[in-house]
Structure 1
Amino acid sequence: MDKIPKVRTFDAFQKVSSTYTTRSSQGGFTTILLGLVCAYLIWTELGSYFAGVEDQQFAVDDSVGWDMQMNVDITVAMACESVHVNVQDSAGDRLYAAELLSMEDAGFDLRDTHELTIEAREEADDKLETVFRRAKAAKKFSKTHKPRKDVPACRIFGSLKLNKVQGDFHITAKNYGYLDDARSRTVVRQDALNFSHVIDELSFGEYYPKLENPLDGVAAIVDTHLFRYQYYISIVPTTYIGYGGRHVVFTNQYAVTEHPHSQVNPTRPPGIFIKYDIEPIGLTITERRVPFWQFVVRLINVLGGLVVCTGWMYPILDSVYTKWETNGSPSPTWQTMLDGKKE
């Protein structure tokens, strides 16, 4: 019995013989360009896959807790012995914040500050990766800079617990607007009042010194003594959750508007007034990635579509280029023996 010869080669899609193909510089350039574009798309898709996407979800704030931490680092252009600090909320509780915060003589430095503007807020980076990196910093306040004798100022910094309700944080001068200060012998002259201030930190929740907030680095210069500067803050509880729940940061974001005015009276004393309110909704920002099989399918679709479109476009572009190179003259025709003779 004869042995059946083995099939050595098999090709279901027959290739065109090299005799009938034409190599050109345009084809080589197109191949190189296609390879570069494919490499760029692969790199972009890999970056998008590993970076993940952010999902933002709003829901009714059901967090358990009756208090909230407030972190303050404000420098006022007045002597500490003349400054009065307190908190009063809608629940009727009142805190003499000067006993809970630290107050030290400091220099009034405006070098790294800016006014409260929308443009300054738009520069903040709130990406999950940035938030997690900055939340790893040491959770303590920096040391006070050496005070300057020519520009006396008072640095008020620290953290304190507040009721989780609407309230006001006040920085005023002693004997201005508070009855319990009437018994004090300290009297601050009007010409000594100066509520120019620099806010280095104003945040709510756990203290993350590197996490950016709308009022960080904000400065306000007051040109009159009897001046009232108000900030209105709307707080939204925010939770950042990393991929797979590896990193979780509980904090609060807030929006702020300012209202400075020089019209003061006994019922509206001069000073710095920060009015805050907690929104009844919470924001959860979660990092997630698409499944690996979905990433592969997406990558194949992108690359396959690019190759097919290039295959469609190349003959058209090559025809246009050929006509342009020959200045629009018709291509030469070749007559063979099978064509017969023309009469």
Structure 2
Amino acid sequence: MDVLNKLRHLDAYPKINEDFYSRTLSGGLITIFSSIFMLLLFFSELRLYLHAATETKLMVDTSRGETLRINFDVTFPALPCSILSLDAMDISGEQHLDVKHDIIKKRIDAHGNVIEARADGIGAPKIEKPLQRHGGRLEQNETYCGSCYGAEGSDDECCNSCEEVREAYRKKGWGLTNPDLIDQCKREGFLQRIKEEDGEGCNIYGFLEVNKVAGNFHFAPGKSFQQSHIHVHDLLAFQKDNFNISHKINRLAFGDYFPGAVNPLDGVHWEQKAPSGMYQYFIKVVPTVYTDIKGNTIQSNQFSVTEHFRNSEFGHGQTLPGVFFFYDLSPIKVTFVETHVSFLHFLTNVCAIVGGIFTVSGIIDSFIYHGQRAIKKKMEIGKFS
């Protein structure tokens, strides 16, 4: 018994006899409000525990030899598909001119309605006896071999369509001044098709796979070629003085989508006011790695962008009309990792919530209770005085 009595003296939580309890209205209200507040905080903490949290880290990007995938969907309301081309190049010297693979073009009318989706190129020959390379017309059972009009790379090279003639000219660095002088272009109705599509627009979408180095890709009228180490486009064939490069970027992303990704150029619309010019986007690409709660990893990118318009007047007529995207890679990689809050951490937070609210509500209740008693005593003293 003596040992038990000594243990009672060590009790850090002495109990008060229920006969001394005094329950008040204010205490009941404080209990109700503090309990509701406690439940709200508990469910908020439970939601955080059940859902994954995302940790963000920054590190130096040491990856080498990777490629960069560029997904795009751009609409040009006043630029026909027949004259629109896509080029890509980077600082390593690699060039992809007049890109056609993995690209889809849709002709659209002035109201934005799709007219048709077709592959690049103007069309097939429309007459039975096209002009042969040797100068005569195609005879029966004779294999067709059209002339490249001086742009042949070898003696046995043939250009059987207007597109092949234009490609041969591009490789030579020549511009095609009058397509009607080219038999293939004349019988395919090159200029006629351009005139028919005048006033139309074009929606072009797809993706590019480029080296993971700084570079640019651009949408511009005409076929591109190198002339004295300068990148130029053949615009004479279209017989137009200016081109309207108004555009809307429906989507532009560097890599795959990941949760929380925001592409700042999605939905951006720009309308050309000047007669002609070059619209430029300068993009800083930040490599990003997203790892979900199951350990699945998504290699992607985020980017920031600034914009600039170069009027042809400032370039003395030498500014190439088009929409250019210049991109550069950041040396810093961002990693997002989804993690679960540990049960011990959740339990600690719940205990902190319960203990904190219980303590604060007790202080408030004590302040109200003793304040009421003090006021009551003063009123009693004033009544009997």
Instruction: Verify same fold: TM over 0.5.
Output: yes
SS in 2 for 1:98: coil
Task: Give the equivalent residue in structure 1 for 2:169.
Answer: none
Asked if the contact 2:277/2:321 (under 8 Å) is kept, the reply is yes
Task: Give the equivalent residue in structure 2 for 1:72.
Answer: 72
Q: Are 2:114 and 1:146 aligned?
A: yes
**How far 1:150 moved relative to its partner?**
9.5
Structure 2 residue identity aligned to 1:106: I
Structure 1 residue identity aligned to 2:359: V
* TM-score, with length taken from structure 2: 0.65
Q: Deviations over 1:272-318 (max 9, x none)?
A: 11100111221101122332112212211221122122212211123
Gaps of 5+ in 2: 1-7, 117-196
CA 1:281–1:209 in 2, change beyond 3 Å: closer, same or farther?
closer
Task: Give the equivalent residue in structure 1 for 2:183.
Answer: none
Asked if the contact 1:173/1:188 (under 8 Å) is kept, the reply is no
Structure 2 residue identity aligned to 1:156: I
Asked if the contact 1:227/1:264 (under 8 Å) is kept, the reply is no
RMSD, matched Cα: 3.4
Q: Deviations over 1:60-117 (max 9, x none)?
A: 213353321111111112111222321121111111243222222125679xxxxxxx
Structure 2 residue identity aligned to 1:105: R
- Write the distance in 2 (CA, Å) between the matches of 1:290 and 1:156: 45
Q: Are 2:334 and 1:286 aligned?
A: no
- Write the distance in 1 (CA, Å) between the matches of 2:378 and 2:309: 77
Q: Deviations over 1:136-175 (max 9, x none)?
A: xxxxxxxxx5249996211111112111111111112227
Structure 1 residue identity aligned to 2:209: K
CA 1:158–1:23 in 2, change beyond 3 Å: closer, same or farther?
same
- Write the distance in 1 (CA, Å) between the matches of 2:39 and 2:67: 53
**How far 1:21 moved relative to its partner?**
3.1
- Write the distance in 2 (CA, Å) between the matches of 1:307 and 1:184: 79
Gaps of 5+ in 1: 1-9, 111-144, 334-343
Count, aligned residues: 287
**How far 1:32 moved relative to its partner?**
0.6
* TM-score, with length taken from structure 1: 0.73
- Write the distance in 1 (CA, Å) between the matches of 2:257 and 2:343: 37
- Write the distance in 2 (CA, Å) between the matches of 1:331 and 1:240: 71
- Write the distance in 2 (CA, Å) between the matches of 1:216 and 1:182: 28
**How far 1:182 moved relative to its partner?**
6.8
Asked if the contact 2:287/2:300 (under 8 Å) is kept, the reply is yes
Task: Give the equivalent residue in structure 1 for 2:133.
Answer: none
Asked if the contact 1:82/1:188 (under 8 Å) is kept, the reply is no
Please point out which of 355, 364, 370 is paired with 1:304.
Answer: 355
Larger radius of gyration: 2
Please point out which of 271, 290, 296 is paired with 1:240.
Answer: 290
